[in-house]
Every structure is written in C-alpha cells, then in structure tokens.
Structure 1
C-alpha cells in the first residue's frame, strides 16, 4: 500500500498537471484537441480521487483505521413527535396516502 507521502507527491503532481492544462487551454483556446486534453486530465483527476477512496477502503479492510471511528450510540426516543414537526411535509410513498 502506498504511503501518505506518495499520495501527497501524487496530488502535488496532479496540481502541476492541472496548472499546465489550464495554461495550454488559455493559449490554444477551445479546439477539439484541447478539449481532448482537458477531458483526459479530468479523467485522470477522477481516477486519482477514486484511488484515494480505494486506498482508504483497503486500509480499513486490513484492520487499519485511518480515522478514529466513533462508537458512541445515539438514543432515539420512543415518544411521538409534535405534530408541528411534520407540518408541510409530503407523505408521498409513506402508508399509501394519496392527494387528489
């Protein structure tokens, strides 16, 4: 698995790529070739974002926690909500009521 330093370096390089593509787009304008470069860059950026997510999931599956997860339980009361709480709320899809 890659280290945080490798990911930091990757993000730094991606930032450089973004700056270069922006500069090229300003210089060459909106042409089919430039649109392809911009689209390819966006695809790379999306893939890097996905890589970050995948790396976090892999770390979690190995039992390594990247962020402390809260185990605090939140109590939910059994009492009825005040009717004003539900004022102006559509009931579409709840209980089969319909408005006609």
Structure 2
C-alpha cells in the first residue's frame, strides 16, 4: 500500500509545476543549501496556512449548521462570517503565487 502511495505521489508531484518558479528573487549567492532551506520553509508555512484556512472554513460551516438547527440567528451570522473570511483566505492562499508574481511584475 505504501509503495503505491509513494508511486502516485511521485507522479502527481512531477505533474505539478512549482508556482513560485521565476517570481521570487534568486538567493543562490548564499549557496544551494540556503536556497533549499528557505524554499522548504516557505512551502511549509504556505501549506500550514492552507490547512488552517480549511479548518476554519469547516468550523464556520459547522457553526452555521448548529445555529440554524438551534434557531439562533446571531450564532448563524457569526458562523457565516467565519466561513466567509476563511473562504476568502483560502482563495487568497491558493492564488498567492499569482498575486506575488503580479506585484513583483508591477513594481520591478
């Protein structure tokens, strides 16, 4: 089972382009190890932020469901606002490479 998982992951990773290629400055002057370190750190932080946005989106939707079944309009509104902001954050994080690329293109 794990061999199949690793094989599928390798195929998927080969097909996904790095969204940060060509849009961030080249720090190769500090060496390859530094470049690999900050790229891994940035990708890790980005991944954690996406996971957190998904968790907050799920919590907002769950709160909306609880409030609608309980007949509490204020709690429903709070859950809706939480889900809305989490959805906007998730969309922004998903489009982060495009946003950063556009900002660097405009100001460079």
TM exceeding 0.5: no
Could you say which structure has the greater relative contact order, defined with CA pairs below 8 angstroms and 6 or more residues apart? 2
User: Shorter chain as normaliser: what TM range?
Assistant: 0.3 to 0.5
Q: TM-score, normalised by structure 1?
A: 0.40
TM-score normalized with structure 2 length = 0.38
